[in-house]
Structure 1
Amino acid sequence: MTGPYWAVIALLAAAAFLIRVAGLAAGGRIRASRHAWILDDLPGLIVVSLVASSLAGQPWPTWIAAGIAFGVGAMTNHVILTMAAGVAAFAGLAWLAG
């Protein structure tokens, strides 16, 4: 590889490192502020946003399977059982629709 390739690799590595350091610094400042409660709820909010964006534009069997998975998760609070119920519901609904 030539010099410009190594320069791009070094620049990208430095940028990735600085992004992580900035995240650590921002997280530390948020933990010390009155907005620390946001970090406690952040993992759940990220999961909800990923699921919501995944469901956008999906057909009705996907929405029904997601609702079934939500119900099982709310009743049992068991991750593996929730995933299994959602997959089984989706497979059954896809089989019925197809």
Structure 2
Amino acid sequence: MTVSYWMLILALAIAAFTIRVVGLFAGDAIKSSRFSWMLDELPGLIVVSLVASSLAGQPAETWVAAGVALAVAYFTNHVILTMFVGVTAFGLLIWLGV
């Protein structure tokens, strides 16, 4: 490898380290501020945003299966059962051609 590759690797390593250190300090600053409640809700918000962006532009079968999975999650609070029922509902909807 040439020197330019090593310089790129070094620059990316420094950038990755800097991002982590800044995140550590920002997290500590938020924990001690009046916005600390946001950190408690952040994991759930991230999951919801990932699911919502995955559903955007999907056919109706996907939305119905997601609704079924949401209902199972609400009533059972069981992750594995929710995934199983959601995938099964999607498969059945596709198989039936609904």
TM-score by structure 2 length? 0.98
CA RMSD after TM alignment = 0.9
Aligned to 2:48: 48
Q: Structure 1 stretches of 5 or more lacking a match?
A: none
In the alignment, the residues of structure 2 paired with residue 2 and residue 49 of structure 1 have an alpha-carbon distance, to the nearest angstrom, of 41
The answer to whether structure 1 residue 64 and structure 2 residue 57 are counterparts is no
Query: Matched residue of 2:87: which SS?
Result: helix
How is 1:1-98 mapped onto 2 (pairs within 5 angstroms)?
Answer: 1-97=1-97
Deviation at 1:97, TM superposition (A): 1.1
Query: Matched residue of 1:91: which SS?
Result: helix
Query: Matched residue of 2:35: which SS?
Result: coil
Query: Matched residue of 1:70: which SS?
Result: helix
TM-score by structure 1 length? 0.98
CA deviation digits over 1:38-80, x for unaligned, max 9?
A: 0000000000000000000000000000000000000000000
Runs of 4+ in 1 over 6 A off after TM superposition: none
Q: Give the aligned length.
A: 98
Q: Structure 2 stretches of 5 or more lacking a match?
A: none
